[in-house]
Structure 1
């Protein structure tokens, strides 16, 4: 996988901030917000500086029973080509079925039959894309009752069958630990981290006993601790901060990147 460094999710509200920030090695942009033939000027500026830009899809839905949409795949491919991207990322999630949109990235049933279907969907997506694909683990507020595999086992088998890359969101691991009691460390131990493409870090908040992964606050220490645990097991090609709303100052965002680097370095000191 491409060596990326430490980056931040590009948002239109942060365009000038990201252009002038020190320490931004790469960015990620929501693919559905892009028109490949008319890229935002800020992304063209970043590409001219040699900053890699990764298109990140949120609506492909490889977790559905039906194959992924050829039109959505074509859009992802066009984004990758327009940005000269090293890879494309998406979510291992259910987003639609039977003509109905879920309106959210829902967890997939972790059964053998589901794994068979998702394997075929991932292979179709890989065949349609000009660059490697990485899939992200999602945050959940519920689990399916008939799961046969843990999240780590499910992802490991999917990687073994398809060779797909992993985008591991440590904030989502924390969310699932908080909401469902699923150990983040156990998940890390089960994952084939040699297939790691990059990592997401983000903040959220607790409300009425539920952790909400909002990407609108500073990453809490438990999320950074999971990042350190991950880095103790493997050196991630990239780590990216997600911040989607209630944007803080340039200095505050820069401090978030510094905290990410510090969490990564702790793993190195412990080795």
Structure 2
């Protein structure tokens, strides 16, 4: 039985992962540039929600875009163990699986090694399944790999008594408005809904429903859709392929946005 975080006077929270946990593409209003501006994302939002119900929340976000599972385990997990928080969220493996030849079985083994080490801290540990890529043309072919990884992840969660945020079942994420222009990262609204879902798993009260229906949209003509596809291919697909071919990452040279446990203010 997991402890009720909202009954504590002080809660420390560390978020581990890649671009998903870093918060791309959910910039703060004061972000001056993208992709190097300040991102908010679901993890920041969860910390803010938690701060509404706890005397003090100390929050660190060690996630860096582009990181593979092995990098997260070697770069971020030791720091999380050192910080000894009450709550740890870990989402890893997505960048491994989307790469050519990505092996969900091998990636799950890497993940389990990190989970085993984190579980020794006594922190409440939250894992995330991969989302259903069936509605995304650019990633539809990965659906089988993601589902295989999800089965491994649930088994790992059972072995180490972890909470699981089931992203696969969040059908609201199939709507294009849950995704940013790059079609690889969630939009501000996508991050907001994911944060609400995480709070639900943690038992943190919220006033909104993550699964609320999307409002109706105006139909688009095929010319507009075609122009959007061309823009996406030029601005996002070609650079992504270039990084894969040259072994580069969008996170090269970047470090964690919140490397230390620092006070977090409630959301407005």
Verify same fold: TM over 0.5. Answer: no
Larger relative contact order, structure 1 or 2 (CA cutoff 8 Å, min sep 6): 2
TM-score computed with the length of structure 1 as normaliser: 0.36
TM-score, normalization: structure 2? 0.37
